[in-house]
Structure 1
Amino acid sequence: MTKVRTKDLIEKFGLELIAGEEGINRPITMSDISRPGLEIAGYFAYYPADRVQLLGKTEITFLETLSPTEKQYRMEKLCTDITPGIIISREMEVPQELIEAAERESVPLMRSPMKTTRLSSRITNFLESKLAPTTAVHGVLIDVYGIGVLITGKSGVGKSETALELVKRGHRLVADDCVEIRQEDQDTLIGNAPGLIEHLLEIRGLGIINVMTLFGAGAVRSYKRISLVMNLELWDQTKQYDRLGLDEDKMKIIDTDITKLTIPVRPGRNLAVIIEVAAMNFRLKRMGVNAAEQFTSRLTDVIDDVDHHED
């Protein structure tokens, strides 16, 4: 499925279409942008034809030094059947040879008033976020004290009810039931709600409630970076649960490992408070304070002390 086409760039950045209108549905598969300076100088051995081509002042002024034959030949080589588009920055004059080649090969030729470097970084950011790998996870995403907490667990374990309690305590709902996740960096996962269920929570017995209408705009967020996964599971007598917090479990989403805590659920345990404390504890660990490690080192000191006295 094509995520981005050239026409999306035209709409997003208000580009002026000069030629090659037939190609505006061409797919863009790379977020990298090419500045084809060497190609205009005649070296096409490594021309990345499948990228968006961006011509700035340097390239356009260099073009003017070429003979009409060279100009025509190089502009034709620039326009291939897989080139998603060519953009001229700073609203510069577009060479006639390029207009003709673009029209003939149906390569969209566009122009922007923006400066080259700024345009390049804005287009790259836009393409990176659009072309980022994505997945969907069954769970609830909440911003708790600035930490994106993804609550997972089997159906009926109480994820949405816990989310409702957290929203009531002043935290912000991002998504309930289905969380769309995209990997923006090697280790950055951003979660959001599908448009259809944004701001909605489904509570068994109550039905669907609109968190924004009930609790106000401060109770929701459109997206949030995921830092912590809390997996709720019904308390299992036979299972050994981590009591010190020394074992760090990980969950892999796309290519990123996220810290995962398993929280046993049984009547009388206030999950919202546990999740709040887990989020605060996670923040402390990020700042370099690890309570579990401090406890074990204190314990070791006490044991060493006792051994020492016995000797």
Structure 2
Amino acid sequence: MKSISVQSLTDMFHLEVLAGAEGMERMITRHQTHRPGLEFVGYFDFFPMERVQVLGRKEITYLLTLSVEERMLHIGNIVKYHPPCFIVTSGQQEIPYLTLFCNQEGIPLLRTTETTTEFIAKLNGYLVKALAPEMSIHAVCVNVSGIGILLRGKSGIGKSETAHTLIRRGHRFVADDIVVLKKLGPATLLGTHNEITREFLALRSIGLINVVRQYGRTAFQDETRIVLDIELCPWKEDSLNNELEAVPQFTEYLGIQIPHIEVQLQPGRDVASLIEAAANNWYLRQLGYSAAEEFMKRVEDEMQS
């Protein structure tokens, strides 16, 4: 199971450490936060103690309405479950009782000036990506007209050169050689780089180029949702599918099936244009349009007339 430390979270969001500094290496393993509400009235049957606990104005205001004895009791009941950390939002100040308990138990108490709603949205989004199951594959990742594509094939087949042509045509580069795939949901696969290769594209006979330095910031993006898997392979005589519409094929990554297309290479074949066509065709299919179906309808209408 993937995890990140409370210290990493603190650094990422520039959080203020109020108490429990000795627990900054505690690990976070769940991507959703929790706002303790029922727990403050004593109901713990479904308390997600492994999540980051966020205390907004609602929670703090409620605690301040209690007597000192009740407040200490309710806070103590939650702290004893040892969640990874507590984060107080909106820069709230009246929380000495939280500081006391967190110092005693070594649980980090952090604070942000951001509002609860805004902070939780950012934090949940970050945790989903940081804790997502992932794998690395040998491929090139590009974004063609807003559509994330994996380009695969044997070394030297021309993946990087094809990506370079697509960049020159105004599309965006994501990763070369090593593509990191992250599963963000049951049907959502994210493609990104591994930081070391960020912005770099390796071209045979040329060497490494920095895409951003050569073509500008708009030629690169950090990540993209993967919706097409295109494999570049050598030309095979009499093996191309010349039917009106090929039978759908899929490649599975982390349990998610991605539509697969095989593009055979031959001198003079404009591979980049074929990839653009595949991307546009996929988009039209999402809108419910099929060129093959329209063609067959025209044939049927002609025959009937």
TM-score (normalizing by structure 1): 0.88
Q: Are 1:87 and 2:87 counterparts?
A: yes
Question: For 1:59 and 1:217, how far apart are their aligned partners in 2?
Answer: 43
Question: For 1:104 and 1:98, how far apart are their aligned partners in 2?
Answer: 10
Q: CA RMSD in A?
A: 2.3
Paired AA for residue 26 in structure 1: R
Q: Are 1:40 and 2:40 counterparts?
A: yes
Task: Tell me which stretches of 4 or more aligned residues in structure 1 moved more than 6 Å.
Answer: none
* Between 92-101 and 286-295, the greater mean CA deviation after superposition: 92-101
Give the corresponding residue for 1:122.
Answer: 122
The aligned length equals 305
Q: CA deviation at 1:300?
A: 4.0
* Distance change in 2, residues 1:297/1:3 (3 Å): same
Q: CA deviation at 1:44?
A: 2.4
Alignment of 1:215-230 (within 5 A): 215-230=215-230
TM-score (normalizing by structure 2): 0.89
Q: What SS does the corresponding residue of 1:60 show, helix, strand or coil? A: helix
* Distance change in 2, residues 1:209/1:98 (3 Å): closer
Alignment of 1:251-290 (within 5 A): 251-290=251-290
Where structure 2 has 5 or more consecutive residues not aligned to the other structure, the ranges are none
Paired AA for residue 245 in structure 1: E
- Asked whether the 8 Å contact 1:246–1:293 carries over to 2, the reply is no
- Asked whether the 8 Å contact 1:149–1:228 carries over to 2, the reply is yes
Q: CA deviation at 1:238?
A: 5.9
Q: CA deviation at 1:118?
A: 2.3
Give the corresponding residue for 1:13.
Answer: 13
Question: For 1:266 and 1:257, how far apart are their aligned partners in 2?
Answer: 28
Q: CA deviation at 1:172?
A: 2.3
* Distance change in 2, residues 1:6/1:164 (3 Å): same
Q: CA deviation at 1:166?
A: 2.1
Question: For 2:212 and 2:156, how far apart are their aligned partners in 1?
Answer: 23
Give the corresponding residue for 1:203.
Answer: 203
Q: CA deviation at 1:158?
A: 1.6
Paired AA for residue 178 in structure 1: I
- Asked whether the 8 Å contact 2:2–2:133 carries over to 1, the reply is no
Give the corresponding residue for 2:150.
Answer: 150
* Between 72-81 and 157-166, the greater mean CA deviation after superposition: 72-81
Question: For 1:294 and 1:246, how far apart are their aligned partners in 2?
Answer: 15
Paired AA for residue 234 in structure 2: L
Q: CA deviation at 1:75?
A: 1.7
Structure whose alpha-carbon radius of gyration is higher = 1
Paired AA for residue 116 in structure 1: T
Where structure 1 has 5 or more consecutive residues not aligned to the other structure, the ranges are none
